[in-house]
Each structure stands twice: as C-alpha cells, then as structure tokens.
Amino acid sequence: MKLPIYLDYNATTPVDKQVLDCLLPFFSENFGNAASRSHLYGWTAQEAVETARQQVADLIGAETKEIVFTSGATESNNLIIKGLFESSFPLKRHIITAETEHKAVLDVCKHLEKLGAEVSYLKPDNVGNITLEQVQKATREDTFLITVMFANNEIGTIQPIQAIGAWAKEKNICFHTDATQALGKISVNVNEMNIDALSLSGHKLYAPKGVGALYLKKKSPATHLMAQMDGGKHERGFRSGTLNVAGIVGLGKACELARNSLLFENQKLSVLRDKLEQGILQNVSNTQVNGNPTNRLPNLTNISFGGVDGENLLMSFRDIAVSSGSACTSASVEPSYVLKSIGLSDELAYASIRFSLGKYTTEAEIDFTIKYVREVVEALR
Ligand SMILES: Cc1ncc(COP(=O)(O)O)c(C=O)c1O
C-alpha cells in the first residue's frame, strides 16, 4: 500500500490513464489552434473540441451549443455572476446565495457588493441545508441571480436544486449552480432540474487542472451575461482566448467515463465511505459526522474529533492525505466558515477532518485508515 493514502479527492483527482492517453497527442502531433480555419491542423483540433463539447453536454443532459469552455470552476463562477451583474445593473442589483458556498462564489459576490450589488447570504440549518422557503422569502423584484451550489465541497450536503430552479424559472430569475463537486458523483440533468447556468471543473473528475466549463441554457436569462474576457470572440463571444485543446479533450473524455460509470462508482464509493465512517465512529469516542446524513455526496465524510487540538490532529495524520476543517490564509489558520455556519464552535471546526474518497480508493486503504485514525487520536488524547 502506498503511503500516504490519498483521501482528498474533493481537493483534486489524478488524471485517469484513459484521459491522459486521449489528450497527450494534442500537445504534440495534433497541436493545432482550434480557431485556425484554413488547414488540417486547425480542423483536427476543432473536431476534437467539438467531440469534447458533446461529451460534456451529455453528462449533464445539455446541448453542445450550451457549453462554454473555461479554465475551471472559479472562472465559470466569475463569468456568470459578474457577467450577469454587468448586464443587469443598475436596473436589478440583488443576488441570492448561501453562506456555505465556495469562495469562488462568495468572493465574487463580495466584490460586486463594492460595485453596488446587494447580496442575501442564506444561512443553512445545522446539516447544511438551504430550503426553497428561504430562497422564496429572500426573492425581490430586483433579484437577477440565484446561485446555490449543488453539493458542498466540505460536508457534501446536497441542495434542493430542482425546487429552487423551478422557483427561479417562475420568477424569470437566472438560476446558477456550482456543480463542481457533484459531477461524476451524482446524477445531474440541467433540464429536469431547471438549471440555467452550471459551473464544472476538470480536475475534480479525473481530467487535468486548468480546464472547466460553464453551461448556459439557451434562451434563458443566463445567456444575457456580458463576457468578462474580450478578444477573438471564441466560445460564441462568451469567453475569448485560444482554447486549451488538450485540456478540453481530457475534460470531454473524463465526462464520458464519469457518465458510463456513475451508478457503479456511486454505489462503490458510498459502501466504502460508510465503512470508513462507521469504523471511525465505532472505534473512536467523542466523534460526530458533519453534513446531511441522508442527502450528501457518496464519497465524503466530515468528522469532528472532540477533545483534540485541531492543529496537532492534522499534523499527526502523516500516513493519510486528508484535509482539515480549517483553511490556511496568508496570515493564520482559520476555522472552516462552512462548519462555523452550520453551528460548530471554532474549537470543533479546527478538529474536523474531511475524508474524501475516489475511484482508486481500496477497501484495504479504508481498513488501514480506520485503525490509523484510532491510534493517532488516542495518542493525542
Ligand atoms: C464547489 C467548488 N467550486 C469551485 C471550485 C474551484 O474550482 P477550480 O479549481 O476549477 O477553479 C472548487 C474547488 O475547490 C469547488 O470545490
């Protein structure tokens, strides 16, 4: 068994070998610019990009012309939120989001507040749920965007996307969801779920880093956004810049693989996750699981270890690669705002660990981790 055991798949995933084999030729022999219309090099690249566009679209039930390639979910979130603000303001200035969103949504909203936007940050309940009623109550005449993530990256809680989408549709408000952590793990269909815009990222689903996409539903308010990158009018003018062909080819292949193995992976991951979670809860006293126990990502468990110093805890886990309930900013280690938002104390948030599993996780690794966590926590206590 290779140590440390990788249990941080929500941070990033390795590139799948099949994905790598597909994309490598686009760095060398097939190096063409997808925008070169006058020769074979360009046509080959363009064809590969269009195949990838179909593969991405198929994973979420979209049409190819609704997919805009970006550098990742951070860019996709920036593009839809800032882009729609720019086309809506000053007539409409209100955004609805949640306290537990990723910084790639929250910091964009904070930025826009300085420019005149008004933002409602909904507070989740103690397992991380946002309700339709909260969204309805927060809705105003001048609301132009509701952005609620599909599944939380730290605690895995899945939001009532379909219901919020239906409400947004009724009110003719754009509904965006950051589905970065959901794709490849649970089934997502943009039409059935009333989604107008959706962000996704390659490196969370076994494709390379630095590539992602934004889904923009045709004839929906999402398509009114103003581009945030001007230039050669690539991607139907929504995102200028020479396409990252190799990355896009990889993203497409990864989406195809994810679609074909979704059910199998989902079941396999939840069995392993449950084994890990039960193993830790039964063998280590004073522990609790964070997040919605009945409606969360199948690959993740976030566990608080009472009575342990958080910083020591993470430093002591040398043989497993996991992430903590805290984020290092340049100046200090802060407790996770997600865990604080669902009611954890600073102390408990520091002493919380996210274990996130992926398709290369084995049962032997889970068995090892259960024993290892028990030994480390007991030694610390
Ligand atoms: C929910 C969520 N949104 C956005 C991002 C940012 O994605 P990217 O690394 O592709 O910019 C992440 C990655 O950590 C994430 O988990």
Cβ 315 vs Cβ 351: under 8 Å: no
Ligand 1 atom with minimal separation from the 201 CA: 10
Mark whether 326 and 225 lie in a shared domain: no
Mark whether 100 and 248 lie in a shared domain: yes
The HSE-up count of residue 301 (CA atoms within 13 Å, CB side) is 23
Share of the chain above pLDDT 70, in %: 98
> Looking at residue 329, what is its pLDDT?
53
DSSP 206-223: TS-TT-EEEEE-TTSGGG
> Looking at residue 322, what is its pLDDT?
95
> Looking at residue 328, what is its pLDDT?
55
Mark whether 83 and 172 lie in a shared domain: yes
> Looking at residue 136, what is its pLDDT?
98
3-state helix, strand, coil in the chain (%, to 5): 45, 15, 40
What CA–CA distance (Å, rounded) separates 276 from 92?
Answer: 47
Residue nearest to atom 4 of ligand 1 (CA): 73
Q: 333 pLDDT band (50/70/90 cuts)?
A: confident
* Residue to probe by mutation, ligand 1, list 9, 102, 109, most atoms within 8 Å of CB: 102
Residue nearest to atom 14 of ligand 1 (CA): 11
The whole-chain average pLDDT of the chain stands at 96
Cβ 72 vs Cβ 211: under 8 Å: yes
3-state secondary structure 153-196: CCCCEECCHHHHHHHHHHHCCEEEEECCCCCCCCCCCCCCCCCC
> Looking at residue 355, what is its pLDDT?
97
CATH of the domain at 160: 3.40.640.10
Residue 303: its H or E element: strand 300-305
Q: 142 pLDDT band (50/70/90 cuts)?
A: very high
CATH of the domain at 289: 3.90.1150.10
Ligand 1 site, CB within 6 A: 72-74, 102, 104, 149, 153, 178, 180-181, 201, 212
Mark whether 89 and 182 lie in a shared domain: yes
Distance 201 CA to ligand 1 centre (A): 7
Distance 288 CA to ligand 1 centre (A): 26
Mark whether 234 and 267 lie in a shared domain: no
> Total structural domains in the chain?
2
User: Is residue 332 predicted with pLDDT exceeding 80?
Assistant: no
Distance 40 CA to ligand 1 centre (A): 35
Long-range contacts made by residues 327-334, C-beta under 8 angstroms, separation at least 24? none
Owning domain of residue 372: 5-12+262-380
Mark whether 77 and 193 lie in a shared domain: yes
Mark whether 364 and 231 lie in a shared domain: no
Q: What are phi and psi of 126, to 5 degrees?
A: -75, 0
Mark whether 318 and 285 lie in a shared domain: yes
Mark whether 68 and 209 lie in a shared domain: yes
Q: Name the domain boundary from 232, 257, 282.
A: 257
User: Is residue 311 predicted with pLDDT exceeding 90?
Assistant: no
* Residue to probe by mutation, ligand 1, list 201, 337, 338, most atoms within 8 Å of CB: 201
> Looking at residue 327, what is its pLDDT?
59
Which residues are identified as catalytic?
328
Mark whether 335 and 191 lie in a shared domain: no
Give pLDDT tens digits for 284-308. 999 999 999 999 999 999 999 999 9
Q: Name the domain boundary from 257, 283, 305.
A: 257
- Two tokens, residue 70: 């970006």
Buried b (16+ CB within 10 A) or exposed e, 314-326: bebbeebebbbbb
Q: Name the domain boundary from 257, 291, 318.
A: 257
Distance 72 CA to ligand 1 centre (A): 7
Which residue, 106, 180, 121, is CA-closest to 150?
180
